[in-house]
Structure 1
Amino acid sequence: WASVVAWSAGLLMLWQRGWLPGALMLDGALAPIGLGTWIGTFMMLNVWFVLWPHQQKVLGLVPASVDERLRCSRITHLSSRTNTMLSIPLLFFMAASSHGGLAG
């Protein structure tokens, strides 16, 4: 649920400032925060629709054969690493949006 809360809070902050439509459309100076928004959206969807369903099988919360658990553990590993690697550009775009990292 932490991913949903963080994602929702980010969208709420953009909406409160009137930046949400421009950010989602990658419009002008809002493009960096928009890229961060899209990366964050992909990361949240990765957690909910890839990582968590497979993790439930690995943990035994959902019945699965041993072979399926092994396959799911590999998918969970790769999905988790994907989110870890995407956190680097996400943080960059969040910082660039307010500190002029992509000004040009």
Structure 2
Amino acid sequence: RPSSCRSPASSGPQDLAGVAGGGSSGSTAVPRSPPPLRVHNHFEGASLLTTKRGICESMSKLYLPLGRDPFGAVPLTFIVREGTSDPQFALWREAFEAFDAAAGQ
């Protein structure tokens, strides 16, 4: 008769780790740990939808031709490609200083 505490996918003592005496009666069985969870926050070839840069560019291309502000729908984003010499960096600095002054810090 199968044990009531064994999952249907369990096939026997080989599914147990740390078992004294190899799963014989009277021993304490410790179930194996599940494999580590693997989380992915991106998909190959889908960077226009799965990266901040891609989302920013996609939303800008969608909203700007319609005369709408894309940052009313997504957070204010700056894509700085060339360090401090990039024009986007200057825009970021202006926005940062404006927010800093508004916060009174």
TM-score by length of 1: 0.23
- Which gives a bigger RCO, structure 1 or 2 (Cα 8 Å, sep 6+)? 1
TM-score by length of 2: 0.23
